Structure 1
Amino acid sequence: MSTDGWKNFGEYGADRDPGNVHGNVALGRALENALERLIIDGGIKSPASTRRGLVARMRYLTTTQGGYQALAEAGITATRPTIRAWTRGTQHPRPENQEAIDTAYWNLRAANLRFNPGAFKQHLNRGGRGTQVEIHPIDQSLVDDNARRDNLEGRRVQVHYVWDAAVDAMFAADLAELERIWDDIIAELDSDWGAYTYVSSIGLGA
């Protein structure tokens, strides 16, 4: 797909601002940010210093594959009876172990979502409703005065059916595939879509 608008990116100074990047790079970053939000927002809210938060983390860690390894990697050396007592809430670990348990929990949750991306794809697809993409055009403050475009403004588009491929491309760091997907997304705009080949940032409503 040929592009116009900023196809000669950098010729008039748009590349002087390091925040201006190709849409494929910005899309990859936006996906990473959305995944991080999903990891945090869907996680246990109660702190590990509370009985409820501790028991919830320990149940996850002791019933999920890789949990004991995550505990060990976080520095937990407690015996199995002690771990069972923490899981039942009949014994409370020292503050340094609470912190290690918290680290183990978040590391395991993040790893499970990253290695099993189906939940992330489902989150973005929203049962076919898709996810809104907020597009922030390039910052033109360092562009040559005679080359600035006065009509550039933020755009929003509801995007469907690309998220499975986008998530796979993000995990594979496949910029070529992300570029193809980005071209598909901005093609939904209008005849000036080429002006959004490069952007300052992208936000996902997910």
Structure 2
Amino acid sequence: MSTDGWKNFGRYGADLDPGNIHGKVALGRALEDALERMIIHGGIKSPASTRRGLIARMKYLTTTSGGAQAMADAGITATRPTIRAWTKGKQRPRPENAEAIDTAYWNLRAANILANPGALKQHLNRGGQGTKVEIHPINQDVVDEPRRRDNLRVRRIQVRYIWDAAVDALVARDIGELEQIWDDIIAELDSDWGAYTYVAHVGLGA
């Protein structure tokens, strides 16, 4: 089976809508969205502008490997005594530093989750139950009317066993591997698989 699907994609106008993309791209974006939700869901809820939120972020940044570099990358140039004062809640940073602390925290948390993707794999595998994939077909409004397909609809399928490889491909930015994984996913659609090689959107129930 070739993931090329519609080999002449765009001949009849489908490529006029930039939202019509290959499924491998849509899958990559869906995985990034799932990762972002995981990063945010497990992160510190209190804003950095509050004492509690500031102390929590500073403790993470000062006790986690890479924290000092994350703060430097965010533009924080405070002295060690000032950083200790922020961490103990004895001094409040200026608004621009509070924003930089927030940026450093989320960047470091994201980097650490990406470096240890096992949690995302576990989340998507769900103990072998897998994750529901919602596939939205391309927008056909831009397709020459005689060439439109009336039977395209949103498809929902429960997908198992591919998530370890999918997360590894996301982390490695391996678009070729994502293409193969998308091929495996749409194979579940039997004879309709080719019509979903290119899609408008892919959502994950995770």
TM range (shorter): over 0.9
Instruction: Show the counterpart of 2:114.
Output: 114
Instruction: Check conservation: 2:121, 2:163, Cα contact below 8 A.
Output: yes
Pairing of 1:116-155 with structure 2 (within 5 A): 116-155=116-155
Instruction: Check conservation: 2:3, 2:179, Cα contact below 8 A.
Output: no
The DSSP-based 3-state class of the residue aligned with 2:146 is: helix
The alpha carbon displacement at 1:67 in A equals 0.5
Instruction: Show the counterpart of 2:8.
Output: 8
- What is the one-letter code of the residue matched to 1:129? Q
Instruction: Show the counterpart of 2:91.
Output: 91
Alignment length (residue pairs): 206
TM-score scaled by length of structure 1: 0.92
Q: Distance in 2 between matches of 1:80 and 1:4?
A: 56
The alpha carbon displacement at 1:27 in A equals 0.8
Distance 1:120 1:4, change over 3 A: closer
The DSSP-based 3-state class of the residue aligned with 2:37 is: helix
TM-score scaled by length of structure 2: 0.92
- What is the one-letter code of the residue matched to 1:51? R
The one-character-per-residue Cα deviations of 1:86-113 (angstroms, maximum 9, x if unpaired) are: 2122222222221111111011111112
The alpha carbon displacement at 1:183 in A equals 1.1
The alpha carbon displacement at 1:3 in A equals 6.3
- What is the one-letter code of the residue matched to 2:66? G
| Unmatched segments (≥5 aa) in structure 1 | none
RMSD (Å), alpha carbons = 1.7
- What is the one-letter code of the residue matched to 1:188? E
- What is the one-letter code of the residue matched to 2:45? K
Instruction: Show the counterpart of 2:26.
Output: 26
Pairing of 1:27-42 with structure 2 (within 5 A): 27-42=27-42
